Amino acid sequence: MKDKKIIFSGIQPSGNLTLGNYLGAIINWIPRQDEYNCIYSIVDLHALTVRQNPAELRQKTRSLLALYIACGLDPDKNVLFVQSHNGAHAELAWILNCYTYTGELSRMTQFKEKSQSHADNINAGLFTYPVLMAADILLYQTDLVPVGHDQKQHLEITRDIAQRFNNIYGEVFTVPEAYIPEVGARIMSLQQPENKMSKSDENPNNYISLLDSPNTIVKKFKRAVTDSERIIRYDEKDKPGISNLMSIYASVVGKSYKEIEEEFQGKGYGDFKQRVGEAVAETLKPIQEKHRELMADKGYLDNIMKDGAERAENLSYRTLRKVYKKIGLVPRG
């Protein structure tokens, strides 16, 4: 029996974490470590849907683990592990592929977008990406999945797959809920505020990396695209740039939009951008220091990975066996 509810989430090691990943996802992971059983994965198999440089992928996987810890996830309280270290994910994904329709996969926005941005490599993995994500979540009988807004559709298909399976075989999977924060769930690109901030963006001026120096952070904010109105007020439609900076500032300092409008009443965009940059740099400073320390201790990170993989395997084993049995695979004995 479960003693506490279960949280599962993951991030691809496809680049350095951005402020979007931090404010949309990780920041909501930290306060839940006591109340829930939390499992956080570095989803390296998902990252393979886009061509990766092998040496860099290895480096980014370690760096992401270090960032998880540096952001405040305690490896004793949370299961932190690398997706490919637990074979159950790929195993369950294959089975769930046979319970997912190509029609529903072809409606996924992320698939459509990535097919456009990687037109030379629209591989089958990119298409079935949400099925592997469903496997990640369902293996652990997850109750809650804290993610950014862009993952809402993937959570919906996960629920559909779980319900479809349960309807045929009985209550095998817990049907998970998404947790999407009200502020910070959709951080936009600094230069193109109509697009989401993304860690695999080719133009580094579009995103703030969690590892950017304070100088770079302030510079990137200073260059952020705004508008010509010169009033700091929240209006996503007509003022996407300023609204994006406001949501970043709101998440980082914990103020409401109204309080921010008051704080910067009569002030120019230059002052506002400077302040947002400084606030972000201050927030990231301790994370960067801790990350640096952790990256210097390879043995420590290796141990966490090994321990996390074992715990993840143990937790997922029962669901996988149950699925195998239900669908009629002969037990190995």
Binding mask 1-30 for ligand LTN (x = CB under 6 A): -------xxx-x------------------
Could you tell me if 189 and 201 are in contact, meaning their C-beta atoms sit under 8 angstroms apart?
A: yes
Under the criterion CB under 6 A, does residue 227 sit at the interface with ligand ATP?
no
Binding mask 149-188 for ligand ATP (x = CB under 6 A): -xx---------------------------------xxx-
Three-state SS at 262: helix
Sign of the C-alpha dihedral, residues 160, 164, 167, 171?
negative
Please pick, among 60, 196, 220, 239, the residue that the annotation labels catalytic. Answer: 196
Q: Is 196 considered catalytic here?
A: yes
- The label of the residue with tokens 């239900």 reads 326
Is 196 one of the binding residues for ligand ATP (CB under 6 A)? yes
Going by DSSP bridges, is the β-strand pair 144-146/78-82 parallel, antiparallel, or unpaired? unpaired
Amino acid identity for residue 8 in this structure:
F
Would you count residue 159 as binding ligand LTN (CB under 6 A)?
Answer: no
With beta carbons less than 8 A apart as the criterion, state whether 78 and 39 touch: yes
Length of the chain: 333
Backbone angles phi, psi at 81, to 5 degrees: -150, 165
Q: Tokens 């989430």 map to which residue?
A: 9
Task: Give me 229's structure tokens.
Answer: 């109105």
43 versus 279: smaller Cβ distance to ligand LTN: 43
**Nearer to ligand LTN by C-beta: 85 or 222?**
85
Per the structure block, which two tokens stand in for 215? 């100088």
Q: Could you say which of ligand ATP, ligand LTN, none residue 241 binds, taking C-beta under 5 to 8 angstroms by partner kind? A: none
Give the residue carrying structure tokens 């003693």.
3
**Residue 202 is inside which H or E element, if any?**
none
Dist CA 117 CA 127 (whole Å) = 14
Distance CA(41)–CA(64), nearest Å, equals 10
User: CB under 6 A: which stretch of 8-16, 88-96, 125-133, 271-279 binds ligand ATP?
Assistant: 8-16
Binding residue (CB under 6 A) for ligand ATP from 6, 7, 16, 21 = 21
- Assess contact for 214 and 281: CB atoms under 8 A: yes
Select from 17, 19, 43, 190 the one that contacts ligand LTN (CB under 6 A): 43
What does 196 interact with, of ligand ATP, ligand LTN, none (CB < 5 to 8 A by kind)?
A: ligand ATP
Tell me if 275 contacts ligand ATP by CB under 6 A.
Answer: no
Regarding 14 and contact with ligand ATP (CB under 6 A), the answer is yes
Residue 305 contacts ligand LTN per CB under 6 A: no
Binding partner of residue 186 among ligand ATP, ligand LTN, none, CB under 5 to 8 Å per kind?
Answer: ligand ATP
- Known catalytic residue at 199: yes
**Among 39, 47, 82, 147, contact with ligand LTN (rule: CB under 6 A):** 147
What are the residue numbers of the active site? 114, 196, 199
